[in-house]
Structure 1
Amino acid sequence: MKRMKSLAAALTVAGAMLAAPAATAAEKAPADVAGDTALSEVRDMEVTPEIEEQKWYQKYADDKRVLKLEATSPAMDGRVVPLAIIPADNPDRPTIYLLNGAGSAEQDTDWLNQSEAVDFYADKDVNVVIPQAGAFSYYTDWNTSPNKSYLKGPQKWETFLTKELPGPLEKRLKSNNKRAIAGMSMSATSSLLLAQHNQGFYDAVGSYAGCAGTSTPFEYEAMRLTVNRGGGEPEQMWGPMGSRTNRYNDALLNSDKLRGIALYISSGNGLPGKTDMPSYYTQQGVDPTAASVGAATLQIEGGIIEAGVNHCTHNLEAKLKSQNIPATYNFRDTGTHSWPGWREDLEKSWPVFEKALS
């Protein structure tokens, strides 16, 4: 009898969960998320010598399709963050926050330099905001700043991106209250986390070749490899593995908080494809020796990383399916951890975003 009652109770709870309406995305305005947080000052970009040296700026300095702004971050002691923006053609349009990967613009590994993002979004009539800083930060709030290399000063990127920036920036862009967030590699994890931590703020999320889990040994040590490149340790970022802050920033553990958001999730499998072969680059005029060395790096290092990402992403798929949370998946049957896949994701995620933002 007790077993029957327990089973009945469990079925009742499960039924209630399935019957419960999904959380309405973007029901919150920037002011709701910001609360009493001091806000950014958004202004025209002051082009510093450092920015002049970056390839994205050299490529788009005179291109009127790219609006160059900057925003202060009170939480990061007034740090000035450069913003590259592909503005919508009309007012009252949605905003997509597109985050760079590990090296960001500081290492010329950003969306503007490495993809055709400007050409692709130019006719989509949405505002696309790309912060051109934040290398190796995971775009998160760190417990303790390493204060060296790329991670100097307070690292409070989540506060900046979700509380300080949206209100002033979206007012300047005359945006509506629909928004999405997307990222690749390092920031694929960040995109999931920022949406989970701010439910009701984003209509859609794109996670391109990232790892949702962060609090188990393999994933935590993989994260260490990324932040080490910037001069930091994951313990400085989220505390020891499995700590409360680490678990809060584990998107796999908190996957239920993605309910009601349109999701696009992708991964290659680590096996080399045609874009990982020397011939792909020699056909573009790359020196054969350089093409061979580069292809070998992609196939070995990029292959190992993407195989791990593939494992992480299938874990997320299994978890979301067990929770009846729908998502659009793009599991490529080849592909290393490299830009050709992320350029594909830029295009293939658009129908998901377009529907969610309409």
Structure 2
Amino acid sequence: MPVGGQSSFYADWYAPACGKAGCSTYKWETFLTSELPGYLSANQNVKPTGSAAVGISMAGGSAMTLAIYHPAQFIYAGSLSGYVNPSEGKGWIGLAMGDAGGYKKEDMWGPDDDPAWQRNDPTVNVGQLVANNTRLWVYCGNGTPNELGGANLPATFLESNFMIGQNKKFQELYEAAGGHNAVFNFPPYGTHSWEYWGAQLQAMKPDLQSSLGAG
């Protein structure tokens, strides 16, 4: 989970990402799949294959997308309350980007009918995740807080109205496509907040280590 990339979906954008803080070049997929592993291999003796991508919220779907198109590099993808069906939520993405930093979704993947929206949608491309046999860990709460907290309105609203439905849809399509290498965790609680993501990262850790041979 890299630091930075506000509203980026950790993707290669068509245009400069211009927001309230100015303009940046967003080429996150290129950085994460070419530049960074190349540097680590050359300078730190880190192999460029057999890794994991794990993300929360917008980055949850992005972790899966990286595994779809770079299966040797990312053999494991974890999505926590992930936006896993972005091509069906373009309007909400545009609103969220504008609110978060003044960004425009068209600068990312073009107009609504541009193929990039489909290309970067794990639900649309679920069959490729099955074909790659990527190990998946998919978590999403239902918007109901428990003793961990996270009871504020944005956290409960996002999880119950946007995230849980698309994550369950992803599970249905994954299983219909013959997928059998995933953990799906949809408990009867959990909001869009770090209290639950932190707990879920701890729950995921043994599975991730085992899958990467690092346990």
TM-score for the superposition, normalised by structure 1: 0.55
Aligned to 2:158: 305
Q: Is 2:96 aligned against 1:212?
A: no
Contact 2:148–2:196, Cα closer than 8 Å, also in 1 = no
Give the Å deviation of 1:151.
6.1
Contact 1:151–1:232, Cα closer than 8 Å, also in 2 = no
Deviations 1:202-253 (A, max 9, x none): 111101111211112xx22222233211221212111122421111111110
Q: 1:156 aligns with which of 24, 27, 32?
A: 27
What is the distance in 1 between the residues matched to 2:63 and 2:195? 20
What is the distance in 2 between the residues matched to 1:185 and 1:162? 20
| Superposition pairs of residues 1-358 of structure 1, within 5 angstroms | 99=1, 131-150=2-21, 152-176=23-47, 177-216=49-88, 219-228=89-98, 229-259=100-130, 260-276=133-149, 295=151, 298=152, 300-307=153-160, 308-326=162-180, 327-358=182-213
Letter in 2 for 1:330: N
Q: Comparing 169-178 with 340-349, which one deviates more in the overlay?
A: 169-178
- Percent identity reads 29
Give the Å deviation of 1:150.
4.5
SS in 2 for 1:143: coil
Letter in 1 for 2:178: N
Gaps of 5+ in 2: none
What is the distance in 2 between the residues matched to 1:166 and 1:184? 21
Q: CA RMSD in A?
A: 1.7
What is the distance in 1 between the residues matched to 2:207 and 2:22? 34
What is the distance in 2 between the residues matched to 1:150 and 1:138? 18
Contact 1:141–1:237, Cα closer than 8 Å, also in 2 = yes
Give the Å deviation of 1:185.
0.8
What is the distance in 2 between the residues matched to 1:222 and 1:345? 26
Change (3 A) 1:191 1:182: same
What is the distance in 1 between the residues matched to 2:86 and 2:105? 10
What is the distance in 2 between the residues matched to 1:151 and 1:227? 14
Contact 1:136–1:150, Cα closer than 8 Å, also in 2 = no
Change (3 A) 1:320 1:150: farther
Letter in 1 for 2:147: K
Q: For CA contacts below 8 A with separation 6 or more, give which structure has more relative contact order.
A: 2
In the alignment of these two chains, the number of paired residues is: 207
What is the distance in 2 between the residues matched to 1:137 and 1:209? 16
Contact 2:17–2:23, Cα closer than 8 Å, also in 1 = yes
Contact 1:145–1:151, Cα closer than 8 Å, also in 2 = no
TM-score for the superposition, normalised by structure 2: 0.89
Q: Comparing 139-148 with 302-311, which one deviates more in the overlay?
A: 139-148
SS in 1 for 2:163: helix
Contact 1:195–1:205, Cα closer than 8 Å, also in 2 = yes
Contact 1:143–1:237, Cα closer than 8 Å, also in 2 = yes
What is the distance in 2 between the residues matched to 1:137 and 1:150? 14
Q: Comparing 262-271 with 194-203, which one deviates more in the overlay?
A: 194-203
Aligned to 1:65: none
Contact 1:215–1:246, Cα closer than 8 Å, also in 2 = yes
Aligned to 1:72: none
Gaps of 5+ in 1: 1-98, 100-130, 278-294
Change (3 A) 1:350 1:242: farther
Deviations 1:318-358 (A, max 9, x none): 01000111210111211110001110121111122112111
Deviations 1:180-219 (A, max 9, x none): 1101111111111111122322111101111211112xx2
